A and B are shown apart, each in its own frame.
Chain A
Amino acid sequence: MATTPRPSTQRLWPRRGSLGGVAAVVGTLVILVVLWEGYKVLGKAAGGLVPFTEMRLRPPPDDRSMPHVWDIVSAMFEPARRRGEPLFTVLGSAALFTLREAFAGFVVGGLGGFGLGVWFVRSRLAERALLPYVVASQTVPILAIAPMVVIWGGRAGLPQWTAVAIIAAYLTFYPVTINTLRGLRSPAATATELMRSYAATDRQRLWKLQVPAALPYIFTALKISAAASVVGAIVGELPTGASDGLGRALLSYSQQFTAAPERLYATVVFCGLAGITFVAAVSLLERRLVNPGARQRIEAEAPGLMVAGAQA
């Protein structure tokens, strides 16, 4: 990234990829580790109670509930099964399995969300009629929908992973629809008038003006969706009885929590890594496709959007 001779990129992303950026990420990690271990030390010193009260600290600061960071890391290099592979390869292949489901859902949800956005921008009626339902769809807890999707999918004879992908798609399409809608409406009135004066067709106006203008918005949504699709895939695995994947690993290792809590925490770390990997891949694609000026504009307009994905 730093090698690309694009001064504008350097100006926009001054830290990314540079030593400073790496230091910031590592520094945050160190702070998190210190907070974790510090809570344990202070909590133990306070006898596991909230100071000056009889209330127990939650989570308890003992090693059984909060294993040491180094124990979590070393558990990754030990086999979770005698004579088996080390935990990180088990979790790595589970993460790949989940990412495949998430990617399928992401593609379907992304295209569907884009299609809906285009439809809404061309038809006020469709927007008025359907947008409330699109919004409502996102307030229905995924845990309520997932078992239904699984049962319907099973009856339709679909392979198990498709049910998971559908759930991932369900979490993916909404941000894309909303941001596509906004992005397609973002070109300045003068630009639209110019297209009209050239007698451009609707289709030409869409692909030559609106879509390019919407790309930064869409990519912002895609970054949110990338993280959401991983969440959707993991949550989707819980009621599907999936034979592999991070959701399955979470179930298994939560059952082993009493005896080996490090494994569950290691799995959580891999869930996070899977999300980061996916979002980073989308960011890379964005840098190739979106011109930096446009990206800067949307960052300035709605700074929160870029980080919203982390909360999805």
Chain B
Amino acid sequence: MTTWRRSGRWFAVLAATVVLAAACGGDDTEGAGDTTATECDSLDEVRLQLQWVAQSQFAGYFAALDEGMYEDECLDVTILEGAVDIVPQQVLATGGAEFALAWVPKALVSCQAGADIVNIAQVFERSGTLMVSFADSGITSVEDFAGRNVGNWGFGNEFELTAAIAEAGLTDSVTLVAQDFTMNALLNGEIDVAEAMTYNEYAQVLEAVNPDTGELYQPEELNVVDFNDVGTAMLQDAVWAEAAWLADNEDIAERFLRASFRGWVFCRDNFDACVEHVLNNGSTLGESHQRWQLNEINALIWPATNGIGVMNVPLWDQTVDVATSQIPDLAGVDIGPDAYRTDLAEAATAALEEEGLDVTGEGWERIDVELVEGGA
């Protein structure tokens, strides 16, 4: 592949298209069929690979498991927690799991590298990535990044930022700085703007004590630039499955999505009980932080334009545009619409709607979460 790509752009496009068509394809025209199981002869064993250790980011799946929603769909689900060096879509491609959660751009890179995987449910409709700065710095938009030290995590987490900077024509005037896993560089004034997820790092700042006031940092002291508003946001957590496996197991996939969506609806409507499920799956998690996180995760899902998990196509197109313009491995690659399919998620949401569940959550609103020091 590499040598082909070097030998010419045309070849690269052709080769990539062939690979993608083969890798990310799969017949998505077939319907999943109406196989609503009423009672189980046996349970189908499937594994879900998460991107990280248990936290509210994955609350819906833990809720579905602990509330018996998977069992009701005749599934025996094992949730595999993520960790350092675990790349969920690779676990998927090597047969270590039947379902995996992954950010769309990262999964597209894996697709391009030959992974035979398909996006079957776009659970998060919005990006959770922010650029955070102190209010007194006066940074309120990407244009204000000019001449500033801007932190980013690298490792494929920086492309929303680089796209925004390129769009603003600031590529030469912004200093990009590698940011570690903490927000200390921002708090110490070493960088002016820091990358942060709404549901993790941003909360960490609000859980830290401001040495000047002796109290926790307040949201009013911070400015955020939200990539959803900038227009370079890329789709994040989605459920992926291997195309070849999926061809024979659409029924299992649809049942898995039904139960998982039920779990997310549960977490929207039963906030406290859902947080308990998360806390029961990790002894080191702080309660207020997980409450904050679930609230923010809910905001990434709800309202769900086409019903939870069903792809919002303009946002997919935006993701692909940013990905192919920013990610070197995807440069010039033509990513076809067969990298995702909506039929399974549509069938799942339709079934839930028939039961009377609200799958779009139009009236959803954030609750007030009080953070405490250290996120305890």
- Interface presence of A176 (CB below 8 A): no
Contact, CB under 8 Å: B83 / A251: yes
Q: Quick one: which of B94, B187, B287 contacts A81, CB cutoff 8 A?
A: B287
| 243-264 of chain A: CB within 8 A of chain B | 243-244, 248-249, 251-260, 263
- Interface presence of B376 (CB below 8 A): yes
- Interface presence of B231 (CB below 8 A): no
Q: How far is the CA of A56 from the CA of B375 in the complex (A)?
A: 29
Contact, CB under 8 Å: B85 / A80: no
Q: How far is the CA of A145 from the CA of B357 in the complex (A)?
A: 47
A239-B86, A243-B81 given; A155·B284 CB < 8 A: no
Contact, CB under 8 Å: A239 / B287: no
What is the 8 Å Cβ interface bit string for chain B, positions 155-192, against chain A (1 contact, 0 not)? 00000000000000000000000000111100110100
- Interface presence of A242 (CB below 8 A): yes
- Interface presence of A146 (CB below 8 A): yes
Contact, CB under 8 Å: B53 / A248: yes
Contact, CB under 8 Å: A242 / B83: yes
Q: How far is the CA of A254 from the CA of B204 in the complex (A)?
A: 12
User: Min CB distance, B179 to chain A, in Å?
Assistant: 12
Q: Quick one: which of B82, B91, B190, B284 contacts A252, CB cutoff 8 A?
A: B284
Contact, CB under 8 Å: B286 / A258: no
Q: How far is the CA of A154 from the CA of B94 in the complex (A)?
A: 11
How many residues of chain A get a CB closer than 8 Å to chain B's CBs? 43
- Interface presence of A187 (CB below 8 A): no
Q: How far is the CA of A55 from the CA of B279 in the complex (A)?
A: 42
Q: Quick one: which of A65, A251, A252, A256 contacts B204, CB cutoff 8 A?
A: A256
Contact, CB under 8 Å: B289 / A251: no
Contact, CB under 8 Å: B187 / A64: yes
A81-B286, A239-B83, A242-B83 given; A256·B375 CB < 8 A: yes
Contact, CB under 8 Å: A146 / B85: yes
How many residues of chain B get a CB closer than 8 Å to chain A's CBs? 43
Q: For residue B373, which residues in chain A have a CB less than 8 angstroms away from its CB?
A: 259-260
Q: For residue B289, which residues in chain A have a CB less than 8 angstroms away from its CB?
A: 256, 259
Q: Quick one: which of A56, A143, A237, A259 contacts B374, CB cutoff 8 A?
A: A259
User: Min CB distance, B193 to chain A, in Å?
Assistant: 16
- Interface presence of A37 (CB below 8 A): no
Q: Which of B94, B187, B376 has the most CB of A within 10 A?
A: B376
Contact, CB under 8 Å: A82 / B188: no
- Interface presence of A233 (CB below 8 A): no
Q: How far is the CA of A76 from the CA of B258 in the complex (A)?
A: 43
Contact, CB under 8 Å: A80 / B374: yes
- Interface presence of B282 (CB below 8 A): yes
A82-B376, A239-B83 given; A63·B284 CB < 8 A: no
Contact, CB under 8 Å: B94 / A151: yes
| 304-358 of chain B: CB within 8 A of chain A | none
- Interface presence of A79 (CB below 8 A): yes
Q: For residue A64, which residues in chain B have a CB less than 8 angstroms away from its CB?
A: 184, 187-188, 208
- Interface presence of A240 (CB below 8 A): yes
- Interface presence of B75 (CB below 8 A): no
List 6 additional A-B contacts (Cβ < 8 Å) besides A256-B286, A258-B204: A80-B284, A80-B376, A81-B279, A241-B50, A256-B204, A259-B204
Could you list 5 A-B pairs, sorted by A, with CB under 8 Å?
A56-B190, A248-B53, A252-B285, A256-B289, A260-B373
The 8 closest A-B pairs by CB, nearest first: A260-B374, A259-B207, A252-B284, A241-B81, A258-B204, A241-B83, A239-B85, A238-B84
